[in-house]
């Protein structure tokens, strides 16, 4: 019995390690997950802007915080060798024009920082304030996707 | 033997004559052109936005005021070679400043230059052939108000035999038509018909969203079913109401996408569609709604061929 438990623990430790290795070795999966977290925040933001969801400053702040965290992490998951595979839709321009990509990423980080700054500790006070804060952030989606993503659907 | 040579010569002359006759660049007839009122630049600006003329005819990466400088220069790399959008600013020497309204109408709707040559259909006159002549006249009046730019865009670089423009006469016999692509029963909603005009005519949406034959002609029975991207990598999506297309999108979703660039699941617009969406966002709300109504009404086509 004891032996069984030991082997089970060893086995689960192995699985955990395997999972961790997969995450670190699979930048495509990580950047996709990060991008999906931004899509979800954009959806929450959009629903409030459209009036489909009642405005709530806490929710608005959560969306902005997600944009902020992702803006700082996202650029680290495009190492050489991850140009293809894993259903990536990253455009070759990311590696052909790294300065341009960094510039787009930098603009995104600046716009999110400004939005967070404007919204303060408790989040944007009302829908108009949120619209003003998040509007410039959301334009980064299309400006970056114009040059740095290819769509394969 | 001399008789055989004579037959061969006659055959060549006949075939050549038929070819020459069939490929003759055809202009609009004078009676049609005579009915047009002088163009209205304000109305023309709306056509300019619907057509997205600037997307190809401004210098690549133009921003701000330069977005109205139609110097040309956008390069479309295709299997036939590289086509470069020309200067269509009102400069009399480098642009179209010396053109008459009839020259512009013949270029837009028949693909014929003032010198009487065929244009390559990279300039999507196969779509513009379905436009109202008055809209073309209004567009011309608007173009006249933009700044003249005294510079030439680079020339096309094509490989033989595509360098022979005359052959395009045959291509036009196959693919140039004023008729609508999609026919609707009598009594179809006004918005659907208006949307059809915008999409099939000035908007020229089918030029990217419809797959082509190896000849470069659009496959009419695969209208808007999605295609390989003409330039660069990736593909252009199916926008018929099919499973892979817009079935799950409401007309409101389509309009919201035109306004903001966000899909219903908040993916964003990308690639060449960004410039198109920015133009769509400038249209009147009723135009966006008409396009959405049409897209929900076109025949369903699966993406796979």
pLDDT > 90: percent of chain B: 74
> Are B198 and B268 part of one and the same domain?
yes
> Are B60 and B171 part of one and the same domain?
yes
Identify whether B23 is part of a domain: no
**Lowest pLDDT segment from A64-68, B1-5, B57-61:** B1-5
> Are B216 and B290 part of one and the same domain?
yes
> Are B80 and B120 part of one and the same domain?
yes
> Are B150 and B90 part of one and the same domain?
yes
Tell me, rounded to whole angstroms, the distance of Cα B29 from its chain centroid: 21
Q: Do A145 and B270 touch (CB under 8 A)?
A: yes
* Residues of A in Cβ contact (< 8 Å) with B274: 142-143, 145-146
Query: At B157, which CATH number?
Result: 1.10.760
User: For position A24, what pLDDT does the model report?
Assistant: 62
Domains of chain A: 27-148 (1.20.120.10)
| Among candidates A92, A145, A150 on the partner chain, residue whose Cβ is nearest the Cβ of B268 | A145
Check: CB of residue B121 under 8 Å from CB of residue B115. Answer: no
- Residue pairs between chains A and B whose CB atoms are closer than 8 Å: 57
> Are B63 and B150 part of one and the same domain?
yes
B277 touches chain A (CB under 8 A): yes
**Lowest pLDDT segment from A31-45, A114-128, B19-33, B272-286:** B19-33
* Residues of B in Cβ contact (< 8 Å) with A146: 270-271, 274-275
Which helix (H) or strand (E) element contains residue B249? none
Of all residues in chain A, the one with the smallest CA distance to B256 is A50
User: For position B233, what pLDDT does the model report?
Assistant: 73
* Residues of B in Cβ contact (< 8 Å) with A46: 260, 262, 266
pLDDT tens digits for B171-204? 999 999 999 999 999 999 999 999 999 999 999 9
pLDDT tens digits for A6-42? 454 554 544 444 445 455 678 999 999 999 999 999 9
Identify whether B144 is part of a domain: yes
Identify whether B301 is part of a domain: no
Where among B125, B149, B175 does a domain terminate?
Answer: B175
Residue B79 makes CB contacts below 8 A (sequence gap 6+) with none
> Are B114 and B167 part of one and the same domain?
yes
Of all residues in chain A, the one with the smallest CA distance to B267 is A39
Identify whether B244 is part of a domain: yes
Helices and strands (H, E) in chain B, number of each type: 13, 5
CA pair distance B241, B144, nearest whole angstrom:
39
| Among candidates B235, B237, B269 on the partner chain, residue whose Cβ is nearest the Cβ of A142 | B269
* Residues of B in Cβ contact (< 8 Å) with A91: 233
User: For position A17, what pLDDT does the model report?
Assistant: 47
Check: CB of residue B299 under 8 Å from CB of residue B182. Answer: yes
Q: Do A142 and B234 touch (CB under 8 A)?
A: no
Closest CA to B137 of B108, B113, B114: B108
Helix, strand, coil percentages in chain A from 3-state DSSP, rounded to 5: 75, 0, 20
pLDDT at B29 over 60: yes
Where among B175, B198, B231 does a domain terminate?
Answer: B175
> Are B195 and B276 part of one and the same domain?
yes
CA pair distance A139, B261, nearest whole angstrom:
9
Which helix (H) or strand (E) element contains residue B283? none
A72 touches chain B (CB under 8 A): no
> Are B209 and B247 part of one and the same domain?
yes
Q: Do A149 and B270 touch (CB under 8 A)?
A: yes
pLDDT tens digits for B276-287? 999 999 999 999
At residue B158, the 3 state secondary structure works out as: strand
> Are B119 and B221 part of one and the same domain?
no
Q: Do B266 and A39 touch (CB under 8 A)?
A: yes
How would you label B262-292 residue by residue, b for 16+ Cβ within 10 Å and e otherwise? bbbebbbbbbbbbbbbbbbeebeeebbbbbb
ipTM: 0.79
- Dihedral over Cα of B249, B251, B255, B256: its sign: negative
Report how many domains make up chain B: 2
pLDDT tens digits for B222-233? 999 999 887 667
Pairing of strands B235-236, B157-158: unpaired
- Pick the more confident residue, B139 or B76: B139
Show contacts of B280-283: CB within 8 Å, 24+ apart: B282/B49, B283/B46, B283/B49, B283/B50, B283/B258
At residue B78, the 3 state secondary structure works out as: strand
> Are B50 and B170 part of one and the same domain?
yes
Total Cβ atoms within 10 A of residue B35: 8
pLDDT tens digits for B122-132? 999 999 999 99
Identify whether B31 is part of a domain: no
Q: Do A141 and B261 touch (CB under 8 A)?
A: yes
Mean pLDDT, to the nearest integer, of B123-143?
97
Identify whether B196 is part of a domain: yes
Q: Do A153 and B262 touch (CB under 8 A)?
A: no
> Are B168 and B223 part of one and the same domain?
no
CA pair distance B147, B118, nearest whole angstrom:
27
Supply the pTM of this predicted model. Answer: 0.87
Q: Do B266 and A40 touch (CB under 8 A)?
A: yes
* Residues of A in Cβ contact (< 8 Å) with B232: 150
What's the whole-number average pLDDT of chain B?
93
A87 touches chain B (CB under 8 A): no
Identify whether B288 is part of a domain: yes
Of all residues in chain A, the one with the smallest CA distance to B235 is A152
- Say whether the peptide bond before residue B227 is cis (omega within 30 degrees of 0): no
CA distance B210 to chain A (A): 14
Of all residues in chain A, the one with the smallest CA distance to B304 is A153
Check: CB of residue B291 under 8 Å from CB of residue B198. Answer: yes
Which residue range(s) make up the domain with B277?
A: 190-295
B262 touches chain A (CB under 8 A): yes
Query: Which of A139, A141, A147 to mutate to probe the B interface, most B CBs <10 Å?
Result: A141
Tell me, rounded to whole angstroms, the distance of Cα A137 from its chain centroid: 13
Residue B93 makes CB contacts below 8 A (sequence gap 6+) with B150
pLDDT at B240 over 80: yes
Identify whether B18 is part of a domain: no
Where among B175, B199, B217 does a domain terminate?
Answer: B175
């Amino acid at each position: 019995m004891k032996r069984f438990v030991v082997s089970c623990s060893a086995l689960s430790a192995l699985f955990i390690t395997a999972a961790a290795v997969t995450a670190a070795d699979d930048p495509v999966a990580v950047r996709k997950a990060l991008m999906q977290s931004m899509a979800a925040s954009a959806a929450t933001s959009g629903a409030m802007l459209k009036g489909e969801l009642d405005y709530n400053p806490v929710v608005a702040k959560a969306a902005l915080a997600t944009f902020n965290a992702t803006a700082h992490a996202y650029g680290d998951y495009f190492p050489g060798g991850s140009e293809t595979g894993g259903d990536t839709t990253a455009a070759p321009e990311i590696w052909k024009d790294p300065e341009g990509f960094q510039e787009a990423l930098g603009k995104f980080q600046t716009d999110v920082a400004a939005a967070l700054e404007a919204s303060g500790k408790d989040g944007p006070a009302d829908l108009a304030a949120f619209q003003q804060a998040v509007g410039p952030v959301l334009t980064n989606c299309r400006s970056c996707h114009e040059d740095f993503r290819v769509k394969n659907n | 033997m001399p008789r055989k040579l004579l037959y061969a010569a006659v055959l060549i002359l006949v075939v050549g004559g038929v070819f020459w006759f069939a490929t003759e660049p055809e202009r609009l007839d004078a009676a049609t052109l005579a009915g047009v009122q002088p163009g209205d630049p304000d109305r023309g600006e709306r056509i300019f936005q619907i057509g997205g003329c600037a997307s190809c005819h401004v210098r690549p990466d133009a921003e701000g005021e330069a977005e109205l400088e139609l110097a040309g220069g956008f390069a479309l790399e295709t299997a036939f070679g590289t086509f470069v959008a020309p200067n269509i600013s009102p400069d009399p020497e480098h642009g179209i400043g010396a053109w008459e309204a009839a020259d512009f109408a013949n270029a837009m709707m028949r693909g014929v230059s003032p010198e009487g040559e065929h244009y390559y259909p990279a300039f999507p006159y196969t779509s513009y052939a379905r436009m109202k002549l008055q809209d073309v006249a209004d567009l011309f009046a608007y173009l006249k108000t933009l700044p003249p730019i005294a510079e030439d865009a680079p020339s096309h670089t094509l490989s033989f035999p595509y360098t022979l423009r005359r052959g395009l006469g045959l291509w036009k016999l196959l693919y140039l038509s004023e008729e609508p692509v999609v026919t609707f029963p009598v009594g179809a909603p006004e918005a659907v018909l208006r949307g059809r005009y915008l999409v099939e005519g000035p908007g020229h949406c089918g030029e990217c969203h419809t797959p082509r034959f190896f000849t470069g002609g659009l496959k009419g029975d695969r209208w808007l079913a999605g295609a390989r991207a003409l330039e660069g990598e990736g593909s252009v999506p199916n926008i018929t109401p099919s499973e892979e297309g817009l079935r799950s999108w409401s007309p409101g979703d389509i309009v919201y996408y035109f306004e903001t660039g966000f899909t219903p699941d908040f993916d964003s617009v990308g690639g060449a569609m960004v410039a198109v969406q920015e133009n769509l966002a400038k249209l009147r709300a009723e135009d966006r709604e008409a396009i959405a109504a049409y897209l929900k009404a076109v025949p369903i086509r699966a993406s796979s061929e």
